A and B are shown apart, each in its own frame.
Chain A
Amino acid sequence: MALQLSPELRKKFESLKQRYPRQRSALIPMLLFAQDELGCVPDQLVDYLADDLDLRRMEVEEVISYYSMLRRRPAGRYHLQVCTNVSCLLRGGKQILDQVQRHCGVPPKTATDDGLFSYEEVECIGACTGAPAMQVNYDYYENLTPQSLNELLDQLQLGNTPSPTRQTTDFLKQQKPHSAEVRVVGRRFGLRNSAALTTYLKHDGYQGLEKALKEMTPEQILEEVKRSNLRGRGGAGFPAGMKWGFVPKDTDKPKYIIANADESEPGTCKDRALMEHDPHQLIEGLVIAARVVNAHQGYIYIRGEYRYVMEILDRAIAEAYERNYLGKNILGSGFDFDLCTHTGAGAYECGEESALMESLEGKRGYPRIRPPFPAVVGLYGCPTVINNVETLSSVPAIILKGGEWYADLGSERNGGTRLFCISGHVNRPGLYELPMGFPLRRMIEEVAGGMRDGKKCKAVIPGGSSVPVLTADQLDTPMDFDSVAKAGSMLGSGAVIVMDEDTCMVEVAQRIAQFYAHESCGWCIPCREGTAWLRKVLDRFHSGGGRTQDIPLLKELAQNMLGKTFCPLGDAAAMPIISFVDKFRHEFEEHLRTGECPFSRDAAAVATPL
């Protein structure tokens, strides 16, 4: 059967190929857009793309099977992707999955007989403060309850598509800032039409860019950013100014800027809000950063699940081009800069900067050997600055108001404010922009409205599932990179996940292990085998098959992985497990003593195997 591609799709293919100096980069976006139209990736498409991009068929096959969102067999018309990762788990995600499974009555990733539905258990989709959540195709439905889910499914059955409920981001539109908040990157949240250029311009939009282009030299801009003590908001917390400074000045190679919008760290949903509500701020930050290193091409690598956000970004980029904030001779400064979005297709590892670049080049998302670092050898082998969305979005304000001002907002060596995604068992989960160093206790008790249902807090994950867990007696930790590190954890992505006294820590540990086993790229032995082993032990342990030796075994396995893996994903998998075993050993032992989970709820949902 010949391949039928619509003219629009073919046009899209052509325009995608134009975006990159190497055609192969268009492969993953082409696959995903083709899948949207065809329902899956059939064999003929593989041949077509291999031919169109002058690749071997094998090279296309390799890419497809790496990315979770790409499928070889068609799904139902409504593909229900239910998140059960930690934030959603804590608020009934497993029950939602169970309900969905019962409704569909077929195994995961299989279409129902009428072709209407299919479902799968997915990893964090970035709706953590609106948990429990799921996606129907690309639409978000958050704050689900059994009833609201039923209504949704009924509507879908009738062929209606209810409006998405994006609690995570609508929260910012509807709620006034908490009194403790200091809105810098989030200062335009809540404005009507905040994403539009006209709104942006009315609220000192692109003034930072103007100042940077017309009144400052690239060196001065860099100095300002260094002065601001702005540290990477993606998770590693590396000083942004220092990173930009590594880009060599004397080289003929073209330079690139990449915004890492792959936000997949469980518990994290801030970049989504930033791009949805204030896309121009990100664009402005990108252009300023490009100016510093003299890059003329930028890409925003955005995770595949954030399709609606990418569309908002595309519109904003078009607006910016129209008004010459992008393109040739920006604002008459003589500086050229082109920018476009690039979609991922479902891989947490692609949030790692070197794996991201591999993915952007159209390959499997394996990390690269470092050194050399991206600033010297990056995209297409050229010097590349790659920063998180929030980091780049902070830059316009820094230029406008000064690095010192920004630094003073935070604590020593941890400048400015950041968006915290507070999720879990609190009364008001949501996104809050607070100064660096803000105490964790106040975050939970004041800003997020305190513990839900009056329960006691048992544990808090301060920065996303990759960091060690903190116990309830560590709540007085100031939330900045250095202080949290001193407390034995990491600030990471700023995802604060709060767990109450009824939470089973073994279950949380199991779900975290499941996440890393699913997302491990498979390149290096300790992570590939270690994450799978950890998951299998915890699966068995949590369902009652644990043995005494499993507890020290878990810790030992995780320690054997630590520091030996090719990229930090291995550490991210190991550290939380070690902390859970260390700090909640008694809960593990309780599982052994009783032979079952002492916190077990009724719905034992289907846990999708690896």
Chain B
Amino acid sequence: MSETQNSVQLTVDGRAIDVPSGTLLIEACKSTGHEVPSFCYYPGLSLQAACRMCLVEIEKTPKLQTACTVVVQPGMIVRTETPQVAEARKNMLEFLLTNHPLDCPVCDKGGECELQDMVFRYGAAESRFVEEKEHQPEQQFSPIVYFDYPRCILCFRCVRVCDEAMDVKALGIGQRGVRTLIIPNRPDGTLECEECGMCIDICPVGALTSHQYRYKTRPWEMNYVGTPCAHCGDGCKTTLNVRNNQILRGNNRDMTGINGEFLCIKGRYAGDFTHHPERLRQPLLRRNGQLQPASWEEALGFVAQHLKEITKRSGPRTVGFLGSNRTTNEENYLLARFARTVVGTNNLDHHRTADFAALAGALHGEPVRYAASGDLSRASAILLVGNDPTHNHPLLAWNIRSAVRQHGAHLYIINSRRIKLRRQARQLVEIPSGKEAAAIEALHGAPTDISAATQQELATLRAALEKESDVIVLFGAEVFGSAVSRLVEFSRQLPGVTRYIALGDYANSRGAADMGLLPDRLPGYASLKDALTRKKWEQVWGAALPSEPGLHAKQMLGGNQLRALYVIGSNPVRTFGLPQTREALGELELLVVHELFLTETARLADVVLPAASAYEKDGTFTNTCGEVQRLKRALDPGAVRTDFEIIRLLSYAWGTPLPLRSSEAAFEEIRQHVRGYRVSQAQLVAGQAVRCAPTSGHAAADTPPGLVFSADDSLFTSGTLGRYSAALNSVSERDLPRSRL
């Protein structure tokens, strides 16, 4: 093979290989099947050459060289399997084992320990060291992180990942020589950080371990299920480690998800809400003013009977549905179909955490304009309006930081808070809270009511953007309604192909909107008002559709127009800040709630139906960027039912059974008929993320204020689910102001 400008030919262990120029020798070897061990070398982190495990022979150099710092040169002759190299590896391990304790039986890392693996492969199991080892007792750095000094091999991966990749720098290096140790950032010996657990998973040995997994079990005793995380809208794949039908921890040993190797505290440790003792396991029916356990037959029968009766008596316009940000696409789709065709109402909404409908409208005809999360890490310029990705979208924040750190991307921020990402930003324009739409007008050069100084800064920002080659625009819930189309209008003029991400809070916030849990939209943002669209869906669903747009969430709650309210996976009393009384919800005769826990809303209900969580069912989620992923069931839900089943059974009890019997069937229908969702089944089934791109061709209606708002969760809160996670509740950073980070 001839050498092009971009490839280099060299010989490794007698075999000629061809790699792109600029490749590190260690990567070149690994990618062509030659194993070169390393501890301190880690892709994506700065080079160290400290562990000396990757020493190899290179012809014409007298000493062994570390493969991690050598860039391939044409004609290089490398040997990785000579006796000298084997001896060097063994020596390094022997040195390492002088102070490393014989802790394997009691160390949590046993079975997944890189040091164990290396010693098996390269020797030095018998030590000649008879002196006293350096020792210090184990420390608990935080409710999540334990540190055991003797086990630490000082590869400094944790220090680098916390500093470079996470930009937190909570772990540092103290002392000198053989007494060197990892030190936490608080003077009292504890950590103040994002508790993401990256340090724990990146640690090759058992020096950093987690409290959640401590002493629980061994790696070979668990089942591993890779599934999208149930918490925020980033859609990271977390590999849930399950034993005895209980989630012990999550990690990303898989690394095939869109998140690569990133995972935050929620993906790792906040799966424990699934086994919280207060988890609802039985349907509850209000009898004599008290919620009491009932059977599924009783409960469903009650709901069907009363719901049907109210619909008949007071009309479908008095029945309202509030969907969820954390139910699957199939469940949302089924709910929309049930509400519209069985009950016959368009009173359908959910807590909208981003104005996806407005974006879909603004992007009409240009589906390629949605950016995927991976696009962010390769971006050359990023504009962020509102939101606080460090807290609300940790994966996207990680991708932004990677782009800045590794590719020199330019980050521009317009925000009413000094968010942590300002540290990576080329320019931060601070605006008063609530003035995001005004700021966008200022970008257009149109008159606004923000200060002249800020307008000047925005003009500078605009000028800088115009020099970029292409921009990815992210915006939070602060930008909604017509402001979204104005933002898109502005960004369209920028050079290159501008792409967009609307930042919605939860695991399936996007899916809720995409599947039409909106009073004026059918699935795929199809407009209700359009007769042709309505006809198409009437054909698909085999039923007539009401043509008048329904009530939105705020109208449904406390507008006193409803007699029956059906709430799925949502806590509107708390979310919309209502008093915790039944009266505050209007003159409801029937309140039904699907939930995992007895939330404030569930407490007021007539019927509470225990639902399965995302980790206990199949279906698909769409992340905030529009990447669809299949859920994989990790736990057996036991007596609880999935929302899909409940709705389906309800339709049976109603007497108008919905023909979709499984979420697969529902998804097939979605694929066929929902615009933008004709995605590859094969890829989905293989566990990959596939991009959907619904656009609507309808300008964003002026969404009334108060409908689109972010829950602004921090790293340590996650709506209802987060309240029942022991891990999230245990960390001290929860109570600290966000500006501390």
Contact = CB atoms under 8 A, between A and B. Distances in A.
Contacts of B171: 58
A56 B128 CA distance: 42
A354 B92 CA distance: 24
A537 B128 CA distance: 11
A525 B99 contact: no
Given A525-B92, A528-B177, A528-B178, A566 B49 contact: yes
Contacts of B177: 517-522, 528, 531-532, 610
Nearest to A539: B131
Contacts of B216: none
Interface in A528-562: 528-533, 536-537, 540, 549, 553, 560
Interface string B533-557: 0000000000000000000000000
Chain A residues touching B, majority SS: helix
Given A526-B52, A560-B95, A61 B174 contact: yes
B96 A61 contact: no
Interface in B169-224: 169-180, 183, 185, 187
B98 interface: yes
Nearest to B156: A523
B173 to A, nearest CB: 5
B52 A566 contact: yes
Contacts of B176: 65-66, 68, 347, 520-522
A369 B178 CA distance: 20
A37 interface: no
Given A62-B172, A529-B96, A553-B128, A43 B178 contact: no
Contact of B52 (A56, A532, A537, A564): A564
A364 interface: yes
A526 B92 contact: yes
Contact of B91 (A43, A364, A522, A560): A560
Contacts of A540: 131
B269 to A, nearest CB: 24
B77 interface: no
Contacts of A529: 95-96, 98-99, 178
A525 B50 contact: yes
Contacts of B134: 532
A59 interface: yes
B51 A369 contact: no
B64 interface: yes
A56 B169 contact: yes
A62 B92 CA distance: 26
B174 A526 contact: no
B448 interface: no
Contact of A525 (B51, B169, B175): B51
Nearest to B63: A563
Contacts of A340: none
Given A59-B172, A553-B128, A563-B63, A522 B95 contact: no
A549 B130 CA distance: 12
B55 interface: yes
Interface in B145-175: 153-154, 169-175
A521 B174 CA distance: 11
Contacts of A73: none
B178 A522 contact: yes
A58 B169 contact: yes
B637 to A, nearest CB: 44
A565 interface: yes
Contact of B179 (A58, A59, A522, A553): A522
A588 B583 CA distance: 93
B88 interface: yes
Nearest to B87: A560
Contacts of A517: 177-178
Given A65-B174, A66-B175, A536 B183 contact: no
Nearest to A46: B187
B169 A59 contact: yes
A444 B175 CA distance: 40
A65 B51 contact: no
A524 interface: yes
Contact of A532 (B92, B174, B178): B178
Contacts of B154: 522, 525, 528
Nearest to A559: B91
A480 to B, nearest CB: 23
A80 to B, nearest CB: 22
A59 B163 CA distance: 11
Contacts of A518: 177
Interface in A328-361: 347
A533 B185 contact: no
A529 B173 CA distance: 17
A441 B506 CA distance: 82
Contacts of B132: 536
B682 to A, nearest CB: 45
A148 B98 CA distance: 44
A68 B49 CA distance: 25
A22 interface: no
A57 interface: yes
Given A43-B187, A61-B174, A536-B132, A522 B180 contact: yes
A526 B154 CA distance: 12
Given A58-B170, A369-B49, A528-B180, A533 B187 contact: no
B599 interface: no
Interface in B57-97: 63-64, 69, 88, 91-92, 94-96
Interface in B33-61: 47-53, 55
Interface in A56-86: 56-59, 61-62, 65-66, 68
Contacts of B91: 526, 560, 564
Contact of A564 (B55, B131, B185): B55
Nearest to A536: B131
Contacts of A530: 95
Nearest to B46: A369
Interface in B105-133: 128-129, 131-132
Nearest to A570: B52
Given A62-B183, A532-B98, A560-B95, A524 B131 contact: no
Contacts of A537: 131
A524 B52 contact: yes
A66 B174 CA distance: 7
B68 to A, nearest CB: 9
A564 B50 contact: no
Contacts of A46: 187
A59 B171 CA distance: 10
A565 B91 CA distance: 12
Contacts of B98: 529, 532-533
B496 to A, nearest CB: 29
Interface centre among A369, A518, A523 (most CB of B within 10 A): A523
Interface string A41-56: 0010010000000001
A364 B178 contact: no
A525 B92 CA distance: 7
A535 to B, nearest CB: 9
Contact of A61 (B52, B128, B179, B183): B183
Interface string A506-526: 000000000001111111111
Interface in B586-605: none
Contact of B50 (A61, A524, A531): A524
Contact of A369 (B69, B179, B183): B69
Contacts of A553: 128
3 closest Cβ contacts across the A-B interface? A522-B180, A536-B131, A529-B95
16 contacts: A62-B174, A68-B176, A522-B180, A524-B52, A525-B52, A525-B92, A525-B95, A526-B52, A529-B98, A529-B178, A532-B178, A533-B95, A560-B91, A560-B94, A564-B63, A564-B91
Given A369-B69, A525-B53, A540-B131, 6 more contacts: A58-B183, A66-B174, A66-B176, A369-B48, A530-B95, A532-B98
Interface of B: 47-53, 55, 63-64, 69, 88, 91-92, 94-96, 98-99, 128-129, 131-132, 134, 153-154, 169-180, 183, 185, 187
